[in-house]
Amino acid sequence: MTWKDEWRRVWAIVWKDLTTERRSKAGLNAVAFMGILVLLLFGFALGPDTEALRNAAAGALWLAILFAGVLAFNRSYQLELDGGALESLLLYPGARWAIYAGKLIANLVFVLIVEAVVVPVAMVLYQVSLPPGWPALIGVTVLGTIGFVTLGTFYSAMSSRSRAREVLLPLLLFPMLIPVLLAAVESSASLLGGDPMSEAGAWVRLLGAFDIIFLVASLLAFEYVIEV
């Protein structure tokens, strides 16, 4: 097995998952609506004060992404388990990390599409205007999403195959994600406030370090998680 073969396996899994999602669409719609619903609930909880809403926008948006995204991860494995497809997937020769990488990329695309819907809605609802440094904001969003999806894909490989999976995944995942949440919220808030990269820079580096550390750790540990 060469690297090229492994990558073909990765892309095959990505393609299969995304095709399944595209055909049904119900999953994507449900998750995106969940995100918007959370944004709406935060708006009601915080009250109609424009200034307060604008200050809370970054935090509310990230929590909406977290609450919506966590619904997507269990689904990703649940579809495999329902058809008994995971066993056959494991029977194929090749490295286990390829399964993780494929699921990771498919989940990443899925959550990024959800964000493409939820972020504009958040900007309208919380009356935030696009800051001049918006490309940096997209970079922060992608980095935060990578960290979120890396751990989400890893932990849902366990939670989806245990009892009480709906409760277990957020219980395991959310405490681990607190550095991502802090870094993503702080850096997007400072970028939204028109802050030059000076304050956001440290947070972006933390996000990058988090992504790399947990990407490597998950790739190494996935083999132990999926085999049993």
Partner 1 sequence: MGVTTAGMTMAPAAKSRSRGMLMGIGAFVLLAAMQAWAISISVADRDMGHLQKIMYVHVPAAWNMMIAYFVVAIASLRYLWKGQENDDLLAASAAEAGALMTGLLLLLGMIWAKPTWGIWWTWDARLTSSAVLFFIYVGYLILRAFVDDPDRRAQWSAAVGLLGALNVPIVYMSVRWWRTLHQPQSSPRTLDPNYTMGLRVNAIAVMLILIWFIKHRYDTAKMERSADQLHERLALSGRGGINA
Contacts to partner 1 by CB under 8 A: 151, 154-155, 158, 162-164, 168, 171-172, 174-176, 178-179, 182-183, 186, 202-203, 206, 209-210, 213-214, 217-218, 221, 224-225, 227-228
Characterise 24 by phi-psi region: left (phi > 0), alpha (psi -120 to 50), beta (else): alpha
Q: Minimum Å distance from CB 117 to partner 1?
A: 28
Nearer of residues 74 and 218 to partner 1, judged by Cβ: 218
Nearer of residues 148 and 203 to partner 1, judged by Cβ: 203
Q: Minimum Å distance from CB 114 to partner 1?
A: 25
* C-alpha–C-alpha distance, residues 205 and 89, integer Å: 36
Nearer of residues 17 and 186 to partner 1, judged by Cβ: 186
Q: End-to-end CA distance of the chain: give it in Å, rounded.
A: 23
* Closest to 159 measured CA to CA, from 149, 170, 150: 170
* C-alpha–C-alpha distance, residues 165 and 111, integer Å: 20
Nearer of residues 118 and 192 to partner 1, judged by Cβ: 192
